[in-house]
Structure 1
Amino acid sequence: MISLEHVSKTFQQGKKKVEALKDVSIEIQKGEIFGVIGFSGAGKSTLIRCVNLLERPSSGRVLIDGVDILNLKKKELQTVRRKIGMVFQHYNLLKTATVYKNIAIPLRLEGVPAPEIDRRVKKYLKIVGLEDKAKSYPSELSGGQRQRVAIARALAHEPEVLLSDEATSALDPTTTEQILDLLLKINKELGITIFLITHELDVIQKICDRVAVMEAGAIVEQGRVVDVFSKPQHPRTRSFVRNKAVFQVPEHIREELEKTGRLVALTFLGESSKDPFLAAITRKFDILPSILAGGIDDLKDQSIGNLLVHLKGDPNETLKAIAYLQAENIIVEEVNRL
């Protein structure tokens, strides 16, 4: 549905050129939730603003349903933009307008008839759970409620795509969870494709189908969330996916543990998380596993677990145990390779 092909963006800052995007290519499929994660300055905001041409790429192509919107005339581009709603980090609500008017005014400017405006405002306020706040002002709402108004305003244009620019980064964890549940509901019930950017791993983990990891204006890794989480390839991806404190062990402790065995990181998916695989290798092989750290996280469609384990015992028995774990679809990695 959305294709960014070899997109680059260069800004001129005085005499200096800044490459915000470097040959970025991603494809977002209709009906999915696609996330881009990266630290501040990675180029995420520039990238998402290229989708509706709030930023025009210096080179490359931006295709919506196969049409390169960089080649469209002004009126044609306006028509395409109506299919793309956007939610911002800081809401961008009119302080002097009621919730109702914040949603209605953009529709009025588009020339939508008054009865249709009324229908849409009421419909989308109900969807975001704020039908009783129509006469309230933004100052009377919590941060989460204001973000819900912003989402309703974007939905009132009845777009096919919803862009989310760090929509939860200013919210507390509980409110973030509620907004993410709302985005899942919108995606499922309305069939709207969602493209979001974030620096929060929990956002990707909870609602995204696929993810791209950005660093210094480039995509360094992308794929299904479960694949990227379970087998991160790039160092930047690893820094997001794995809590380094869990897997890093002080050198003197590592040396002591390695005298009697091997330190390994185990990653397991879905149904494997329910299997007592450490108990099984204790029975099958002459080794004693000790869990040093780890946990299980829920992704959108399945769970994924990571454990730091010391396998104490004879080296040959340890190798057999590792081979057994791998045969059971457990991903095994030496800690010193993390």
Structure 2
Amino acid sequence: MIVLENISKEFKSKNGIVKAVNNVNIHVKKGEIHGVIGYSGAGKSTLIRCVNLLEKPTEGKVFINGKEATSLPLPKLREVRNKIGMIFQGFNLLKTATVYDNIAIPLKLLGYDQTEVKTRVNKYLEIVGLTDKHNNYPNQLSGGQKQRVAIARALAQEPEVLLSDEATSALDPETTDSILELLLKINRELGITILLITHEMNVIQKICDYVYVMENGEVVEQNSAINLFTKPSHTTTKKFLNTISQRNLPPTLISQLNVSGAVTRLTFVGESTGKPLIAEVSQKFNVQPNILTANIIELKNGIVGNIVIHLIGVQDQVNAAIKFLEDHGVGTEDLEGQS
């Protein structure tokens, strides 16, 4: 559905050429939700604007539903853009227009007749849960309601693709969750493919099938959401994961531990999440498990459990216990020496 092939984007500045995006490749399959995460300045906003050619790539090709958008003349490009909806952090609503008109005006500009405009406005206001707000103005709405109007406006053109540019960054956590649930509903019920950018790991956690981690204009790690949360490899990815679950133990805690044994992170996914494996370890081997931290992360397509454990015992018994856990599908990571 969305394919970015070797995309690079350069800007000229007084200090020379700035490469905001460097040789990025992304493939979003139809009906999936993919997320691009990175810190400020990583290049993710530039990247998403390359998808609908609001920013024309310096190098590379953009394919939307099999059509190479980068080579199309402007009239044909407009046709492709009509199938791409976009929502923004700042909502971009007309302050002097009602909720109805904020959705209706773009449709009128596209040439739809009054009957079709009314049908679409009513349909998508119902989908976003704002059927009672037709005549309200943006200053009469909460932040979450404004974003719902912006989503309804994007949906009213009945796109095949929805781009989300930090759409929840200006919202409180509870409202963010409600908007993410709405995006999941849109994806599930309307079959719309979604590509979003964010700097919030909880957004990735709740709705994404696949994740790209960006740093300095490049994708430094990519994987399915469940694999990224269970086996992160890049330092930046691990930093993001640490914002929703404490992956690094305080050095003072490590220094207080008995030096015998091992400090290990256990990652449970799939069937292993429902088994009492730690209890079995203490029964089968001459080790004492001391649980230091634990959490469960619910993803769109599964559950990941993380436990940091201090296995106290002689080394051969500790090694045997860890092998037993690995043989039963538990991921292990040695944390000794972390500081």
Q: Which runs of 5+ in 2 are unaligned?
A: none
Q: Deviations over 1:137-192 (max 9, x none)?
A: 00000000000000000000000000000000100011001000000000000000
Are 1:254 and 2:268 matched, yes or no?
no
Aligned to 1:152: 152
Q: Could you tell me the TM-score, scaled by structure 2's length? A: 0.97
The aligned residue for residue 134 of structure 1 is 134
Match of 2:101 in 1: 101
Q: Secondary structure at the match of 1:10?
A: strand
Whichever residue aligns with residue 72 of structure 2, its letter is L
How far 1:85 sits from its partner (Å)? 0.2
Q: 1:95 to 1:337 in 2, by over 3 A?
A: farther
8 A contact 2:210–2:225 mirrored in 1: yes
Q: Quick check: 1:247–1:335 contact (8 Å CA) kept in 2? A: no
Residue equivalent to 1:274: 274
- Alpha-carbon distance in 1 for matches of 2:14, 2:43: 19
Aligned to 1:35: 35
The amino acid that maps onto 1:236 is: T
Give the letter aligned to residue 324 of structure 1: F
The yes-or-no answer on 1:2 pairing with 2:32 is no
Q: Report the counterpart of residue 186 of structure 2 in structure 1.
A: 186
Residues 95-104 or 60-69, more deviating: 60-69
What SS does structure 1 have at the residue aligned with 2:95?
coil
- Tell me the residue number matched to 1:67: 67
Given residue 148 of structure 2, which amino acid in structure 1 is its aligned partner? R
Q: Deviations over 1:33-70 (max 9, x none)?
A: 01001111111100000000011110011111222111
Which residue identity is paired with 2:58?
A: S
- Measured against aligned partners, the alpha-carbon deviations of 1:220-241 in whole angstroms (never above 9, x if no partner) come to 1112100111001111111112
Could you tell me how far apart the structure 2 residues matched to 1:67 and 1:200 are?
31
RMSD: 1.4
Q: How many residues align?
A: 338
- Distance, in Å, in 1 between the alignment partners of 2:115 and 2:130 is 20
Aligned-partner Cα distance in 1 for 2:249–2:145: 43
Shift of 1:251: 4.6
Supply the distance in 1 between the matched residues of 2:208 and 2:80 (Cα, whole angstroms).
24
Q: Deviations over 1:196-222 (max 9, x none)?
A: 000111111111111100011000111
Q: Classify 1:331/1:337 alpha carbon distance in 2 versus 1 (closer, same or farther; 3 Å).
A: farther
Deviations 1:298-320 (A, max 9, x none): 00021101111100011110000
- AA paired with 1:23? N
- Gaps of at least 5 residues in structure 1 are none
- Say if 2:48 is the partner of 1:48: yes
Report the AA paired with residue 264 of structure 2: V
Q: Distance in 2 between matches of 1:15 and 1:226?
A: 41
Equivalent pair of 1:246/1:308 in contact (CA under 8 Å): no
Identity of aligned residues (%): 54
Q: Is the 8 A contact 2:262 2:336 kept in 1?
A: no
TM-score (norm. length: structure 1): 0.97
Change (3 A) 1:187 1:90: same
Matches within 5 A, 1:1-338: 1-243=1-243, 246-251=246-251, 253-257=253-257, 259-336=259-336
For 1:250 and 1:117, the matched residues in 2 are separated by 58
2: CA distance, partners of 1:95 / 1:244? 36
Q: Distance in 2 between matches of 1:87 and 1:137?
A: 18
Contact 1:4/1:24 (<8 A) preserved:
yes
Do 1:2 and 1:63's aligned partners in 2 also have CA atoms closer than 8 Å? yes
Distance 2:156 2:295 in 1: 41
Deviation, 1:254, is 2.9
Q: Partners in 2 of 1:276 and 1:181 — Cα distance? A: 32
Instruction: Give the whole-Å Cα distance in 1 for the aligned partners of 2:111 and 2:185.
Output: 29
Of 306-315 and 135-144, more deviation after overlay is shown by 306-315
Moved more, 267-276 or 278-287: 267-276
Secondary structure of 2:273's counterpart equals helix
Cα offset, 1:245, TM superposition: 8.2
Distance 1:2 1:70 in 2: 13
